């Protein structure tokens, strides 16, 4: 894998562009330019640099999980065995289609994963598969009752 060049710094205009793209990833360069006070070509150049340096790593559609039949969300803490290899454990977690996000964390748990499934019965089956992964000693599951907000754009600006 080739190393990406490092961006010397992300300035205030870059942060405005990033915020605008996080709010609307389908915005045109002209739209972005109007929002930040630059020409479309200047925005295009800045976005290209942000992509080339790995600041912007992709674009995706945000989907309502319940609209696609995934009405149950759970956060699952993974307590490893003493001999567990974190990389192997993370690779095995990535194989579970129910796992939407995986975070390496400090504390008793090594990982916290966010799981989305259709029903509580599906959650029980997913937990069974997760617990059979070599290196998993035990789990702690928190079922999400409601989501107040998620995926909130944050560009590092404190206002």
Residue of 89, 94, 18 whose CA lies nearest to 56: 18
pLDDT of residue 1: 45
Region 49-59: mean pLDDT is 93
**pLDDT band with cut points at 50, 70 and 90 for residue 150:** confident
Side by side, the strands of the sheet bearing 136-143 are: 99-104, 111-117, 72-80, 136-143
For the chain, domains (ranges, CATH) are 12-52 (1.10.10.10), 65-143 (3.30.70.920)
Q: Are strands 111-117 and 99-104 parallel, antiparallel or unpaired?
A: antiparallel
Q: CA–CA separation, 54 vs 80, rounded Å? A: 32
Residue of 118, 119, 139, 143 whose CA lies nearest to 128: 139
Residue 156 has pLDDT above 90, yes or no: no
Q: Are 77 and 140 in contact (CB under 8 A)?
A: yes
Q: CA–CA separation, 110 vs 103, rounded Å? A: 8
Reduced to 3 states (helix: H, G, I; strand: E, B; else coil), residue 130 is: helix
Reduced to 3 states (helix: H, G, I; strand: E, B; else coil), residue 144 is: coil
More confident residue, 23 or 50: 50
Q: CA–CA separation, 47 vs 52, rounded Å? A: 9
What are 75-131's pLDDT values in tens digits? 999 999 999 999 999 999 999 999 999 999 999 899 999 999 999 999 999 999 999
**pTM for the complete prediction?**
0.79
Q: Where do we find the tokens 């390496």?
A: 104
Q: Are 72 and 57 in contact (CB under 8 A)?
A: no
What are 3-21's pLDDT values in tens digits? 555 545 889 999 999 999 9
Average pLDDT value for the chain:
91
């Amino acid at each position: 894998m080739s190393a990406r060049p490092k961006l010397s710094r992300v300035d205030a205009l870059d942060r405005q562009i990033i915020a605008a793209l996080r709010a609307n990833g389908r915005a045109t360069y002209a739209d972005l330019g109007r929002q930040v006070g630059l020409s479309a070509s200047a925005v295009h150049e800045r976005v290209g640099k942000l992509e080339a340096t790995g600041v912007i790593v992709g674009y995706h559609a945000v989907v309502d999980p319940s609209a696609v039949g995934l009405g149950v969300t759970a956060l699952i803490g993974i307590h490893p065995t003493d001999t567990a290899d974190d990389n192997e454990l993370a690779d095995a977690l990535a194989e579970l289609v129910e796992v939407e996000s995986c975070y390496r964390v400090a504390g008793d748990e090594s990982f916290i994963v966010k799981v989305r499934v259709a029903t509580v019965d599906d959650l029980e089956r997913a937990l069974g598969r997760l617990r059979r992964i070599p290196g998993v000693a035990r789990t702690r599951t928190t079922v999400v009752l409601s989501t107040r907000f998620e995926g909130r754009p944050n560009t590092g600006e404190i206002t």
